[in-house]
Amino acid sequence: MASPEEIIAAAVEQKMPAVALTDTNGLYAAVQFYKLAQEARIKPIVGVALDIQWRVTSGEWREGIGEIPHCTRNDRRTHSMSLVLLAADMEGYSNLCQLVTLRHLGTTQLSQNMNPAETDGRPVTMQELAEHNHGVIALCPLPARSRDTSNRRGTIHRAPANTTQAEADCHEQGCSVTSRDLRITNYFSQLKEIFGDRLYIEVQRLLPGDGRTLREAERIGRELGVPLVATNNVHFLRPEEHLHHRVVNAIRTGGLLTTVAPPEITTGEAWFKPAAEMQKLFPDHPELLQATLEIADRCNLQLELGKLIFPECTVPEGETPDSYLEKVSFEGALKRYHFVTPEVRSRLMRELAVIKKWSLSPYFLLVLDIVNEARRRGIPAVARGSAASSMVTYGLGISRVCPLRWGLYFERFLNEQRGDCPD
């Protein structure tokens, strides 16, 4: 609901030392938010609220690939939850980017035979989360408690024969351990295996039933050795903006203000509360608020803004970006002209020398990948402006204009005196 400028302004007004931004399944405003926070001398914490799919296990763990245990094959039940992931450093930020890509494309390596219809997005798996966990701090709430019509208040469950000592103690004290309790404990056990001491159980006091949830979180925290942290699930800056939140989500879901309900909207308490308001919510748990400062201290992301950084360029074995660009450029020229004349060869070699001088071969190969993927999906892609004056872009198929035929000068696009990325 709020822009990065408004969030930073609110943090400055409340004299907050740090502030986090966690877009849903994306890092859309991360760079803008980071720059604004630094200008305001507030520590920026960049993160994402990511959809995670986890498998319920009712049996024993068995050793799987890597360090993450896998549950038995005969249990295929899965659930989806949202997990707040924060970048502690640059490695963590890179892993968040990978996880967001997985969330939207289902893979980080697009194959040539992939159907575009298969890339509509799906929750990230626990295995993928494990593979990209380094440098990431995880905040996880307890799953929402569904209504249990089969178990009325006052009913005490009998402990099963294979119960753990913690569960047996709970039964001796008169409390009940339901299958839901076991599933949630198992879920946090999986997360603890992945994140270790970088996992926190997220607790809030937004709804009447959150007191019960807090007690349940404390039980799991004690059993697994996972600390708790208090948050407020902020969706808007001021209490009066709750109506705006409802309107936007009614439009998003195609519903009405009278019918839109959780999880599409959140409570009116989910506003950007100052420290004093948060202390009122947790007067008996100051350590939960202190944990927010501990997490802020652990997050020290330093983005290298203003510096040219190319994504890793994958080339065939035995090739370098320079040699591979030369190879595909001449192959493309041969397809275009059916015969590479001395004039074409001379023009290509001159352009490739300039591209190599400025170390721009990975850049050209990246653009080629983007254009090929767009066309594979049926999206028109064509070079514009001075890019059409390059023999290399014509040979690669990025441009459809022959620079020799129309007398176009490569130097308008790139030359020995210009080392920045061409447009």
Q: List average pLDDT for each run of 10 residues in the chain, which is 423 residues long.
A: 93 97 96 98 98 66 41 56 96 97 77 51 93 98 58 31 43 55 90 97 91 94 97 94 92 88 83 96 96 98 87 90 98 95 97 95 94 92 91 96 95 83 72
To which residue do tokens 């591209």 refer?
Answer: 355
CA 421-422-423 angle, to 5 degrees, is 115
Percent helix / strand / coil, the chain, rounded to 5 = 45, 10, 45
For 155, the domain range is 4-58+72-109+116-160+178-298
Question: pTM of this prediction?
Answer: 0.76
| Domain identity same for 395 and 288 | no
Residue 125, helix vs strand vs coil: strand
Q: What is the residue whose two structure tokens read 């705006």?
A: 244
Q: What is the pLDDT of residue 262?
A: 79
Amino acid at 219: R
- pLDDT for position 225: 97
Q: Are residues 335 and 395 in the same domain?
A: yes
Asked if residue 122 and residue 27 are part of one domain, the reply reads: yes
Burial of 14 (0-12, 13-18, 19+ CB in 10 A): middle
Burial class (CB in 10 A: 0-12, 13-18, 19+), 323: middle
Do 103 and 240 fall within a single domain? yes
What is the C-alpha to C-alpha distance for residues 395 and 282, in angstroms, rounded to an integer? Answer: 65
250 and 375, same domain (yes or no): no
pLDDT of residue 215: 94
**Residues 80 and 220 occupy one common structural domain:** yes
Residue 10 belongs to some domain of the structure:
yes
Q: What is the DSSP letter of 417?
A: T
Same domain, 404 and 273: no
DSSP string, 297-359: HH------TTS--PPPPP--TT--HHHHHHHHHHHHHHHHHSS--HHHHHHHHHHHHHHHHTT
pLDDT at 354: 96
DSSP run (H or E) holding 22 = strand 18-24
Spatial distance between the Cα atoms of 355 and 362, rounded to a whole number of angstroms: 10
User: What pLDDT score does 166 carry?
Assistant: 44
Q: In this structure, are 285 and 400 located in the same domain? A: no
Claim to verify: residue 151 and residue 250 sit in the same structural domain = yes
**Integer Cα distance of 401 and 398 in angstroms:** 9
pLDDT, residue 131, reads 97
And the tokens for 111? 């194959």
Contact status, residue 372 vs residue 344, Cβ threshold 8 Å: no
Distance CA 320, CA 313 (A): 9
CATH number of the domain that residue 287 is part of: 3.20.20.140
- Tell me how far apart the alpha carbons of residues 34 and 116 are, in angstroms, rounded to a whole number: 33
Domain final residue pick, 239, 266, 298: 298
Per-residue model confidence (pLDDT) at position 15: 96
Tell me whether residue 316 is in a domain.
Answer: no
pLDDT at 111: 54
Report the distance separating Cα 362 and Cα 223, nearest Å: 50
Rounded-to-integer distance, Cα 264 and Cα 274, Å: 25
Q: HEC profile for 293-304?
A: HHHHHHCCCCCC
Nearest residue to 31 (alpha-carbon basis) of 102, 101, 96, 105: 96
Domain-embedded: residue 171: no
CA angle (139 as vertex; 234, 58 as ends), nearest 5: 125
Is residue 303 in some structural domain? no
Distance CA 327, CA 184 (A): 55
Decide if 64 is inside a domain: no
Residue 217 near residue 203 (C-beta atoms within 8 A): yes
Are residues 84 and 21 located together in one domain of the fold? yes
Q: Please check whether residue 306 lies inside any domain of the structure.
A: no
Q: Give the distance, in angstroms, between the CA of residue 314 and the centroid of all CA atoms in the same chain.
A: 23
Among the candidates 258, 283, 298, a domain finishes at: 298
Shared domain for 267 and 186, answered yes or no, is: yes
| Residue 418 structure tokens | 């210009």
Is 418 among the domain residues? no
Last residue of a domain, one of 240, 263, 298: 298
Residues 6+ apart with CB under 8 A from 35: 305
Q: Cβ–Cβ contacts within 10 Å for residue 260, how many?
A: 19
Domains: count for the chain = 2
Q: How far apart are the first and last CA of the chain?
A: 33
Give the residue carrying structure tokens 């103690």.
169
| E-assigned strand segments in 25-94 | 43-55, 78-87
φ and ψ at 191, to 5 degrees? Answer: -65, -35
Same-domain pairing of 15 and 77: yes
CB 392 within 8 A of CB 329: yes
* Cα-based distances in Å from 422 to 345, 348, 366, 390, 395: 22, 17, 13, 11, 17
Distance CA 39, CA 254 (A): 39
Question: Is 304 inside any structural domain?
Answer: no
